[in-house]
Structure 1
Amino acid sequence: MPSLKDVQLKIQGVKKTKQITKAMGMVATSRLRGAQGAMEGFRPYAEKFSEVLGSLAEKAGDEASPLLIPKEAVKKIHVVLCTSDRGLCGGFNINLTDSVKKFIKSNPDPEVEYSFTCFGKKGRDWCRKNQYAIVEEHLGIVGSRFGFNVASTAGKKFVDGFLSDDYDEVYLVYSEFVSMAKQLPIMQKLLPIPPIEVEAEETTEKTEYLAEHICEPSADELLGELLPRNVYVQIYRGLLETSTSEHAARMSAMDNATKACNDMIDNLTLAYNKARQAAITADLMDIVGGAEALKG
């Protein structure tokens, strides 16, 4: 049985750890509110933008822009990986990197070259560990406040790289915020821009009305401006979703760690009481034994 001093030191250490996890959980909660507000405010814009773009692409046709035309042979794939800069957020980053692993395993062609643009330190470290080519890295963005210029600056490089045949396909990997307890890793194709499908339920009574957008100037000219912006919008949305998911995952992980600390303190307190009772019993036995020896 451990000594009383050892148990006391363990209890003090767990209490200090509990203070740290509780403080980190409170910080993540405060940051989550701002990130979630920005994400929920941008979601309707991104969805409406995709709807308008899908209507224009349907009018103009697939050959209206080179950003809509797939390459004949896909040999260069670029992945935009969005992760966090810090750990202590459960399996948040592991789920994102695992989705990239599954994607690479699903393309067994050895001639395909993969390159990465990393938003976040954890994704960069994973690419270095697996010896993947890193074209560019952005640290200190996810999990903090950032503007649309971050997405537009990065998006321009992806569009230029696709048009100059540096990349045959560009994918975006981010974490979609579903709820406080659920964040889903998403792999979305950015380039070439996939066709935007409008889901329509087959009903015999009534069908949903789809608004027809009046194009001025022509749909082809509008697509030339809107298609690159759609890439920027999707990147910005992915960064907002990842930032919100990171704070939610860290808050949940810190709450679980705090609860685990409470359980450890209870167990150690019980062990301390048992050790103290054993020490008291041993002292009493020594006293009784000494008294009996004196009587004899």
Structure 2
Amino acid sequence: MAGGREIKTKIKSTQNMRKVTRALEMVSASKIRKAQDLMKASRPYARQMRKVIAHIAQASTDFSHPFLIEREKVTRVAFVVVSTDRGLCGGLNSNLFRRLIPAIREWQGKGAEVDVLAIGQKAVQFFRRIRGINLIGSATHLGEKPKIEQLIGVIKVVLDAYSANKLDRVFLAYNDFVNTMTQKPSIEALLPLPLVAAELQATEGDNKSTPNYPVAGLKLEQAHDWDYIYEPDAATVLEYVLGRYIESVVYQGVLENLASEHAARMVAMKAASDNASKVIGELTLSYNKARQAAITQEISEIVGGAAAV
């Protein structure tokens, strides 16, 4: 059994650790409401943008925008990965990476090269260590109120590469905020747009059970032969609208991930504080036993000495 002084030192260090975890828990608890408000405020816009773009992808238009063309041969794939800048949020980032790596390996198994654009410091650090993946862009330290301007550079890299036929598929990976206790790693198609329409059709039934899901309630008509009326012309309107669509989806993913980060950190720090309290209780019991054993030994020595005299 460890000595009383050593146990007392462990108790003190564990108490200090519990102070830190409780402080982080309270900070995340105070920030999660603001993050949820930002996320919920942008969901209606992102939802309607998805609906409009999905309809455009199914329409019979005379103008063929590069984003509307689904290429049969896929030689290069890009993943826009949204992670956190800081740790201490449980398995939030690791669960996302664990979900993402098999998808990346699957494309590599098909002979496609994989590019990654990392949003968040943790994604940058992770993909720098992975061989066979090209990290072509990053955006970090977005803060508690991310701005769309901070993401323009990363988004433009993707749009320019796809327009120049350097990319054949683009996916967005982030943590979808379901509730405080549940954050779901998600991988969604960004480009080409026919894939987006197909995903919405496939998940339409699943979204009914999750009303807070970003695309919940979207009902798409089956492939139709009508088209929108564009003013001044289809090329000008689609070039602007499709760019805003990609920005809105990526920005929504960042907000969803931010709310997930605070929720995961709050839960993780609560568990850490509870575990620290449990360890302190066990160490206190061990300290009392050690102190009692030392006192008993001293009394025995005194009695033995007195008997010897």
Q: Match of 2:279?
A: 264
Q: Match of 2:77?
A: 77
Deviation at 1:76, TM superposition (A): 0.8
Deviation at 1:110, TM superposition (A): 6.0
The unaligned stretches of length 5 or more in structure 2 are: 207-217
Q: Is the 8 A contact 1:79 1:171 kept in 2?
A: yes
Identity %: 32
Q: Is the 8 A contact 2:46 2:252 kept in 1?
A: yes
The unaligned stretches of length 5 or more in structure 1 are: 202-207
1:244-296 Cα distance to aligned partner (Å, 9 max, x none): 111111111111100000000000000011011111111111122122222xx
Q: Is the 8 A contact 1:62 1:68 kept in 2?
A: no
Does the residue aligned with 1:107 lie in a helix, a strand or coil? helix
Question: Which of 268, 289, 300 matches 1:285?
Answer: 300
Greater alpha carbon shift after TM alignment, 11-20 vs 65-74: 65-74
Map 1:54-133 → 2, pairs under 5 A: 54-61=54-61, 64-109=64-109, 111-131=111-131, 132-133=133-134
The amino acid across from 1:160 in the alignment is D
Map 1:63-212 → 2, pairs under 5 A: 64-109=64-109, 111-131=111-131, 132-141=133-142, 144-193=144-193, 194-196=195-197, 197=200, 199=204
- Alpha-carbon distance between aligned partners in 1 of 2:165 and 2:46, rounded to the nearest angstrom: 27
Does the residue aligned with 1:106 lie in a helix, a strand or coil? helix
- Alpha-carbon distance between aligned partners in 2 of 1:62 and 1:124, rounded to the nearest angstrom: 41
1:34-76 Cα distance to aligned partner (Å, 9 max, x none): 1111001111111122223333444444964220111231111
Say if 1:200 and 1:3 are closer, same or farther in 2 by CA, change over 3 A. closer
- Alpha-carbon distance between aligned partners in 2 of 1:2 and 1:33, rounded to the nearest angstrom: 45
Q: Match of 1:11?
A: 11
Q: Match of 1:204?
A: none
Deviation at 1:188, TM superposition (A): 0.9
1:163-189 Cα distance to aligned partner (Å, 9 max, x none): 101211111110000111111111111
Greater alpha carbon shift after TM alignment, 161-170 vs 103-112: 103-112
Map 1:48-59 → 2, pairs under 5 A: 48-59=48-59
Say if 1:272 and 1:64 are closer, same or farther in 2 by CA, change over 3 A. same
The amino acid across from 1:43 in the alignment is R
- Alpha-carbon distance between aligned partners in 1 of 2:191 and 2:118, rounded to the nearest angstrom: 17
Map 1:20-31 → 2, pairs under 5 A: 20-31=20-31
Does the residue aligned with 1:89 lie in a helix, a strand or coil? coil
1:123-144 Cα distance to aligned partner (Å, 9 max, x none): 1111111132111111112x53
- Alpha-carbon distance between aligned partners in 1 of 2:279 and 2:185, rounded to the nearest angstrom: 33
Q: Match of 1:41?
A: 41
Q: Match of 2:289?
A: 274
Q: Match of 1:255?
A: 270
Greater alpha carbon shift after TM alignment, 268-277 vs 217-226: 217-226
Q: Which runs of 4+ in 1 moved over 6 A?
A: 208-214
- Alpha-carbon distance between aligned partners in 2 of 1:209 and 1:7, rounded to the nearest angstrom: 63
Q: Match of 2:213?
A: none
- Alpha-carbon distance between aligned partners in 2 of 1:104 and 1:161, rounded to the nearest angstrom: 19
The amino acid across from 2:84 in the alignment is S
Count of aligned pairs = 287
Q: Match of 1:205?
A: none
Question: Which of 231, 234, 247 matches 1:217?
Answer: 231
Does the residue aligned with 1:117 lie in a helix, a strand or coil? strand
Q: Is the 8 A contact 2:59 2:227 kept in 1?
A: no
Say if 1:48 and 1:219 are closer, same or farther in 2 by CA, change over 3 A. farther
- Alpha-carbon distance between aligned partners in 1 of 2:164 and 2:31, rounded to the nearest angstrom: 40
